Amino acid sequence: MTQREVTDQMPEKISMGQKLAQAHADKGKILFHTAIRLTLAGIIVLAGIRGNPPGKPVSFAAGLLAAVIALIALIWVLFPLIHLRDCLEFYETGIVIGKQSWTREKLGEISFMDVKNNYSLFGQTYMCTEVRRFNVTYIKEAKKNFNRAYFNGI
């Protein structure tokens, strides 16, 4: 087998060179954000129950509306949990974000941006490239590991 045939059979991760660093999901941050959201939702529900004692809904439409609101609130509370599997791996010639491989040439210049929204309790962190902005809010020390991998610094 020639060297070219071996390279063609290798997975994308291996052909990107040696792994320099990796950053996994920040489980503490994810659980903290979920707990804060659960607390806020609980306070709102308690305030609603106190103002309107539980009982049979006035109509089917009112009950359906209450169920839809409860479902939306549940999705909002549990949303940070989808980030538990987030991972960022830095290789010599590329980066793997989640399960998608990107070469450094394709990504271009990489910078990090912290964004604080007036309507949110918490800020978000983005890894900005020429291709797109990647949300790395729930990845532990993404910028630090990026600098360690490519600039031998912190």
Residue 52 and residue 66 share a domain: yes
**What number is the average pLDDT over the span 15-22?**
86
Residue 135 and residue 95 share a domain: yes
Q: Which of 105-109, 126-130, 137-141, 148-152 has the lowest mean pLDDT?
A: 148-152
Q: Give the number of domains in the chain.
A: 2
Indicate the SS3 state at residue 60: helix
Residue count of the chain, please give it: 154
Look at residue 7 in the predicted model and tell me its pLDDT. 43
The overall pTM is greater than 0.85: no
Whole-angstrom distance, CA of residue 76 vs CA of residue 140 = 22
**What number is the average pLDDT over the span 11-37?**
85
Residue 142 and residue 71 share a domain: no
For β-strands 133-135 and 124-128, DSSP reports them as antiparallel
Indicate the SS3 state at residue 142: helix
Residue 100 and residue 65 share a domain: no
> Over 80: is that where the pLDDT of 58 sits?
no
Look at residue 13 in the predicted model and tell me its pLDDT. 45
Nearest to 98 by CA among 13, 7, 1: 13
In terms of residue numbers, what domain contains 61?
29-80
Q: Residue 99 has which token pair?
A: 């399960």
> Over 60: is that where the pLDDT of 137 sits?
yes
CA distances from 62 to 43, 103, 124, 125 (A): 21, 53, 36, 39
> Over 80: is that where the pLDDT of 107 sits?
yes
pLDDT band at 53 (very low <50, low <70, confident <90, very high): low
For residue 29, report the phi and psi dihedrals to the nearest 5 degrees.
-65, -40
Residue 51, number of CB atoms within 10 A of its CB: 7
